Amino acid sequence: MEKTEQQAVIHVRDRGIGIALAHQNRIFERFYRVDDFMTRSRDGTGLGLAIAKSLIEGMEGRITLRSKPGQGTMFTITLPLWKPQS
Ligand SMILES: Nc1ncnc2c1ncn2[C@@H]1O[C@H](COP(=O)(O)OP(=O)(O)O)[C@@H](O)[C@H]1O
Ligand SMILES: [Mg+2]
């Protein structure tokens, strides 16, 4: 985790199967699951990222990703830091 004056930055990285560019926006939709031979038999509801995005944006944060099929994925979450009123 990095921390600047205004925000905390959290990276979550894996070296899994990756996510093709065509799916990278859609994986944040409710119930969306990448449907190919690598993932079809796997468990999951397709809700995790939709819920995460909703919670993060509810805190005025952002979630983005960089991914390459066959190499892995890195999600980046930025959250504004809470500053008590003086
Ligand atoms: N780290 C990842 N690496 C590869 N594919 C992923 C990753 N995270 C999510 N996906 C793809 O995006 C779809 C939606 O993910 P997600 O919303 O987290 O669903 P779930 O709640 O079932 O884990 C998954 O079914 C999978 O196809
Ligand atoms: Mg998930």
> 65 CB under 6 A from ligand 1?
no
* Residue 43 Cα to ligand 2 middle (Å): 10
| Averaged pLDDT for residues 61-65 | 98
Determine contact, residues 3/9, Cβ cutoff 8 Å.
yes
What does pTM read for this prediction? 0.89
Average pLDDT, the chain: 91
Which domains, and CATH codes, for the chain?
2-80 (3.30.565.10)
> 16 CB under 6 A from ligand 1?
yes
| Averaged pLDDT for residues 17-25 | 96
| Averaged pLDDT for residues 27-32 | 96
pLDDT of residue 86: 66
Closest ligand relative to 46 C-alpha: 1
> 27 CB under 6 A from ligand 1?
yes
